Amino acid sequence: MNKRHWLITAFEPFAGRDTNNSKSVLDEIRKLEVENASSPGWNFSFHYEVLPVEYDGCFDRMRVAIERLAQENVQLEGILSLGEGHEDFKIETRANNLDDVAELADNRGITRSGKKIFEDLSADATLPLKFPFEAFSRIRTSNHPGYFICNHLCARMARAAESLPGSPDFGFIHVPKTGSGGMFTPDVCAAVIVNGMKKIEA
């Protein structure tokens, strides 16, 4: 059985915190992959990367990871990025062409307000993401991933996906709060995501 290769990414902690919900969920996805590895119907091979919470650095790290896998002759079917959300899941369908969170710096200390990501597009332009959204029908769709790092990555990937090795699909899910005060635990979030992955048609 041919393996279906997917790159799963999450983000490092930011704003002085010790953890990031998305990284906690990624760690649980790792465990589920190990548990499913011997199952006859499991034909996924996940690759993992933790991205920096930096405007330019997040896409640069993503691109390096994709190119490294290509050099290893790994044909990526798609990429699923996880970001820290609020009370519920959201799967993003579009990205905004604007970095605009003046009150919050990235992990390099950079703040951006009203800065276009692509100068050849208008500030209110949006960019569609190419992803099999129907596989995640139980997750609420969103066309507004904000104006911080998650959105920046979505915008850069939306424009670059066709030129990256293998032209992989790219999706982005904001995972809900986990741990104290959250409705979901990391393992539950991971199970929801992996169940969605299983529904993606080859």
Q: What is the pLDDT of residues 128-165, one digit of tens each?
A: 999 999 999 989 999 999 999 999 999 999 999 888 88
Q: Give Cα separations from 119 to 25, 108, 144, 149 (angstroms).
A: 34, 23, 20, 18
What is the reported pLDDT for 179?
64
Fold of 4-198: Aminopeptidase (3.40.630)
Write down the domain spans for the chain: 4-198
Query: What pLDDT, in 10s, does the model give residues 21-77?
Result: 999 999 999 999 999 988 888 999 999 999 999 999 999 999 999 999 999 999 999
Strand partners, 84: 175
What is the reported pLDDT for 178?
75
Q: Is the pLDDT of residue 127 over 80?
A: yes
What is the reported pLDDT for 111?
98
What is the reported pLDDT for 166?
86
What is the reported pLDDT for 177?
81
Average confidence score pLDDT of the chain: 94
Q: Is the pLDDT of residue 184 over 90?
A: no
CA-nearest of 84, 94, 91 to 175 is: 84
Q: What is the DSSP string of 133-185?
A: GGGGTTSPEES---SSHHHHHHHHHHHHGGGSTT--EEEEEEEPPBSTT-SB-
The pLDDT of 190-199, averaged and rounded, is: 95
